[in-house]
Amino acid sequence: MHGLHARLPKNFVLEERLERYADAIELEPRRLAGRWLEGCSPVGGPRLRELRLDLGCGKGGFAAESAAREPDVLFVGIDSEPICVAYAAQKAVEDGLANLVLVPALGRDVAELFAPGEVGRIILNFPTPFPKKKEAARRLTHLDQLLLYRQVLAPGGSVVFKTDSQPLFAFSLTQFELAGFELTWKSEDARADRPDDPVSWYEERLGRQGATVFGLEATPGPLTGQVEQTAELSLAEYLPEDLTQLSYVPHGMQGTVTNLRNLRAKQGARH
């Protein structure tokens, strides 16, 4: 995620941070599978009513704002980067958000961390695009991931996905269809459509660079027969043919777009 990583402050010692904000970090999340709401509800207080998962939560701004707005909902933020977990946990502790828990884990772990039907909503804000074909399975909207989400979503539960990346969005539409999801919302300007949604760190920064946001919400529909990957896996395949007209280059695809522009310019010069 070149160029957009948060700069680490001087004297940032990861272990020390993780320890300082340990109250908001769950290091043994598997033990809570099937009883997250019960296990995280405040002693003597009202029971939390729903679990929402912010997968790839980054520094946790979106999850923290969501948790502040809905104190009776449990927000679980998962990220593979311990630094992000440390920042998000700091926010949860400093803002006094007892309904926000951070977990260092990977998207592929979800079916072990949650019981079937335990998750009301899975939120995917600006997931890392992994443009290359060989990395496609790492995308949080890859078919294999979507099949895992089906296992943990509650009846009527949904996946909400937002991205600045038109190629990732186009690829993801193929995956949601293959995984038997039904779209209940699809937008090429998610901020205009849902203006009251909290803004994530990446949405804020990419918006300043001219990004508009693609978004969708989808619920599991019937799944019949064999599920098979039939989509093009390289995100380059989903870019428009005429790259000279591309005014905004999606985050994480700068290298791919530059290479393709050079290639096409060379091919054009030969003809």
Ligand X SMILES: C[S@@+](CC[C@H](N)C(=O)[O-])C[C@H]1O[C@@H](n2cnc3c(N)ncnc32)[C@H](O)[C@@H]1O
Shortest distance (Å) from residue 181 CB to ligand X: 19
Q: Based on CB atoms, which residue is closest to ligand X, 128 or 158?
A: 128
* Structural contact between residues 214 and 165, judged by C-beta atoms closer than 8 angstroms: yes
Shortest distance (Å) from residue 46 CB to ligand X: 28
Shortest distance (Å) from residue 44 CB to ligand X: 33
For 205-261, the DSSP string reads HHHHTT---EEEEEEE----S-----S---GGGGS-S-GGG--SPPTT-HHHHHHHH
Burial string for 180-209 (b: 16+ CB within 10 Å, else e) reads bbeeeeebeebbeeeeebbebbbbebbeee
Shortest distance (Å) from residue 200 CB to ligand X: 3
Shortest distance (Å) from residue 60 CB to ligand X: 8
Which residues here bind ligand X, judged by CB under 6 A?
1, 56-58, 78-81, 84, 106-107, 125-128, 138, 140, 200-203
For 129-147, the DSSP string reads ---SGGGGGGSTTSHHHHH
Shortest distance (Å) from residue 89 CB to ligand X: 14
Q: Based on CB atoms, which residue is closest to ligand X, 125 or 172?
A: 125
Q: Based on CB atoms, which residue is closest to ligand X, 73 or 76?
A: 76
Torsion of CA 82, 83, 86, 88, to 10 degrees: -100
Q: Based on CB atoms, which residue is closest to ligand X, 107 or 220?
A: 107
Q: What's the start-to-end Cα distance of the chain, in Å?
A: 36
Q: Based on CB atoms, which residue is closest to ligand X, 254 or 262?
A: 254
Q: Based on CB atoms, which residue is closest to ligand X, 55 or 239?
A: 55
Q: Based on CB atoms, which residue is closest to ligand X, 64 or 74?
A: 64
Report which of 250, 169, 170 is spatially closest to residue 210, judged by C-alpha positions. Answer: 250
Phi, psi of 238 (to 5 degrees): -105, 0
CA distance 215 to 164: 9
Shortest distance (Å) from residue 263 CB to ligand X: 27
CA distances from residue 50 to 36, 71, 76 in whole angstroms, order as listed: 10, 10, 11
